[in-house]
């Protein structure tokens, strides 16, 4: 059932599960293109609302925070460039919107539950 999500430079990202809670997939694997059997990493996202299933994976916000930290590191050193600055801004903006969504759901009393 694995399906390729993207191939960029030297890596292949595959989705290894079927869509579940909320219509999204939850398990991803990253492999090298040179040696496809070499698994470089995996990502397991939260599957189902935390109040109903407990914490069982990372959130989108966690992954964005990691990318933001890396880009900030590049921007503080000799690899600073306009492209990194724009990517950093867009990741920060994405994180802001996801946090707003969470705040809105908290205010409605539906955060962490299977309620729209």
Cα(105)–Cα(1) distance, rounded to whole angstroms?
Answer: 33
Q: What is the pLDDT of residue 113?
A: 85
pLDDT at 34: 83
* Chain position carrying tokens 């069982």: 56
* pLDDT of res. 36: 66
Instruction: Please report the pLDDT score of residue 15 as a whole number.
Output: 96
Average pLDDT per run of 10 along the chain, which is 116 residues long? 89 93 91 83 93 94 98 95 98 98 94 85
**Full DSSP string of 40-105:** EEEEEB--S-HHHH---SB-HHHHHHHHHHHHHHHHTTTT--HHHHHHHHHHHHHHHHHHHHHHHH
pLDDT computed for residue 35 by the predictor: 76
Q: Where are the domains of the chain?
A: 1-58, 60-108
pTM, 2 dp? 0.87
């Amino acid at each position: 059932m694995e399906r390729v999500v993207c191939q960029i430079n030297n890596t292949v990202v595959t989705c290894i599960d079927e869509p579940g809670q909320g219509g999204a997939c939850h398990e991803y694997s990253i492999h090298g293109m040179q040696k496809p059997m070499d698994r470089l990493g995996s990502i397991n996202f939260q599957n189902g609302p935390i109040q109903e299933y407990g914490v069982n994976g990372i959130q989108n916000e966690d992954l964005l925070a990691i990318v933001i930290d890396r880009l900030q590191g590049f921007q503080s050193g000799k690899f600073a460039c306009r492209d990194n600055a724009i990517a950093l801004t867009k990741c920060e903006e994405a994180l802001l919107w996801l946090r707003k969504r969470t705040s809105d759901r908290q205010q409605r009393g539906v955060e962490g539950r299977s309620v729209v």
